[in-house]
Amino acid sequence: MTRRRTRSPAAVPGTTPPRRPEPATGPTVPGTAPLARTAAQAARRPTARVSDAREFGRVAVLMGGNSSEREVSLNSGSNVLAALRARGVDAHAVDGIPALIEQLAQRRFDRVFNILHGGDGENGVVQGLMQALGVPYTGSGVLGSALTLDKIRTKQVWLALGLPTPRYARLERGADVLAAAREIGLPLIVKPSCEGSSVGVSRVFEAEDLPEAVELAGRYPGELLMEQLVVGEDYTVGILGDVALPSIRIVPAGEYYDYHAKYLAEDTQYICPGLEGAAEEQALELSLNAFQASGCSGWGRVDLMRDRSGRLFLLEVNTTPGMTSHSLVPKAARQIGIEFEELVWLLLETSLPPAGSTP
């Protein structure tokens, strides 16, 4: 395998060290056999607030769209749709925002389950539309969605609060890439600031590979993010309400956890929980703090790296994670006894007013 090399622009100082699922189970996620739960895990288990599917009314499952993550979104959406229908919810697929606007104008839906990955599904556009129309929807609001789709701005918030994230540089079109790379040092990662699912990502180990990495990331809109490559282990932590789910350590068969390893490969290993004892609690606390500090709510996923000395580094927040056969939030939920259909029900409940609030 050819190793791609990368560097980055002017560094930002201050980094702190550190289609249908089977009934009741949903899509099969490799390595998802639930383990014995600790008392602490049992205490953190979210429970449903609603028992009657009719309380949700008619639900639009928003999926597909036109972002680079369309196919993943369609996969997630079909699983979500099947799980909702299996539990008696009057749910219907809607492909993309124009179709949603048309159907909402005809008052066909009471709420929206947003599983539109990337682009306008996660950058605050759908959320602002729903709020303007007064239609309840799942997941984070405008602020959390818009902020966290932009990895650079998310890092700026984390650094302001002293939360650990890799050294990085914001790279505008035409910036002095070599100077930025010298500032950060090799090895580096170059990626679009506003894309997900490892789209447009390159790892750079030698200076001569920088132009190719920048060209690839530059195919996507927005600024480029160049950051320190943390050598260590990949982790992710799902968030459900105000609960951090058990961490997952990701062990790809290849060198890196790229798009192929995420969505296509069957030999990627997912170890859950990924850590034990104090290290696990630290990862969960850091992830929940990062999620809430970014203005997020409802549900999501926080990605981290743990270097060889045990320090954790925040990478990014995903406010509409995948719900495919390879997705990680369902795996983490299953670890604490929440199967796929129940998880989807709990996610739909994030469209309800907070408990105790006045409608």
Selecting among 322, 334, 339, 342, the annotated active-site residue is 322
Active site residue 303: yes
Any catalytic annotation for residue 266?
Answer: no
276 as an active site residue: the answer is: no
Q: Which CATH number do you get for residue 269? A: 3.30.470.20
Residues 307, 174: one domain?
Answer: no
Which residue among the candidates 316, 339, 341, 349 is catalytic per the annotation? 316
Query: Is 232 labeled as catalytic in the residue annotation?
Result: no
Same domain, 336 and 257: yes
- DSSP letter at 271? E
**Catalytic site residue from 137, 235, 257, 263:** 263
Q: Is 182 a catalytic residue?
A: no
**pTM (2 decimals)?**
0.83
The tens place of each residue's pLDDT in the chain, 359 residues long, gives 433 333 333 333 334 333 333 333 344 434 433 434 444 544 578 899 999 999 999 999 999 999 888 999 999 999 999 999 999 999 999 999 999 999 999 999 999 999 999 889 999 999 999 999 999 999 999 999 999 999 999 999 999 999 999 999 998 877 888 888 888 989 999 988 877 656 788 889 888 898 898 888 888 777 898 999 999 999 999 999 999 999 999 998 776 666 656 656 678 899 999 999 999 999 999 999 999 999 999 999 999 999 999 999 999 999 999 998 778 999 999 999 999 999 999 999 999 998 766 55
Q: Residue 52 catalytic? A: no
Which alpha helices (H) appear in 10-94, and where do they start and end? Answer: 39-44, 70-86
Q: Which of 4, 44, 70, 301 is catalytic?
A: 301
Residue 1 structure tokens: 């395998």
Q: Last residue of a domain, which of 182, 199, 228?
A: 228
- The DSSP bridge pattern shows strands 58-63 and 90-95 to be parallel
Catalytic residue among 69, 122, 234, 280: 69
Q: Is 301 a catalytic residue?
A: yes
* Secondary structure letter of residue 354 according to DSSP: P
User: Which ranges of the chain does DSSP label H, i.e. alpha helix?
Assistant: 39-44, 70-86, 97-105, 125-133, 142-149, 151-160, 177-184, 210-217, 259-263, 277-293, 328-335, 340-349
Of 93, 29, 83, nearest in space to 61 by CA: 93
Same domain, 259 and 334: yes
User: Are 224 and 279 found together in one domain?
Assistant: no
For 270, the enclosing helix (H) or strand (E) is strand 269-271
Residues with Cβ within 8 Å of 256's Cβ and at least 6 positions away in sequence, in order, are: 203
Residue 241's domain comprises: 57-152+231-349
For residue 30, the 8-state DSSP code is T
Are residues 134 and 276 located together in one domain of the fold? yes
Q: Per the structure block, which two tokens stand in for 278?
A: 């104090």
Q: What is the CATH number of the domain that holds 178?
A: 3.30.1490.20
Residue 322 a catalytic site member: yes
Q: Are 284 and 304 in contact (CB under 8 A)?
A: no
- Per the residue annotation, which of 76, 318, 325, 351 is the catalytic one? 318
Looking at the structure, do residues 196 and 343 belong to the same domain, yes or no?
A: no
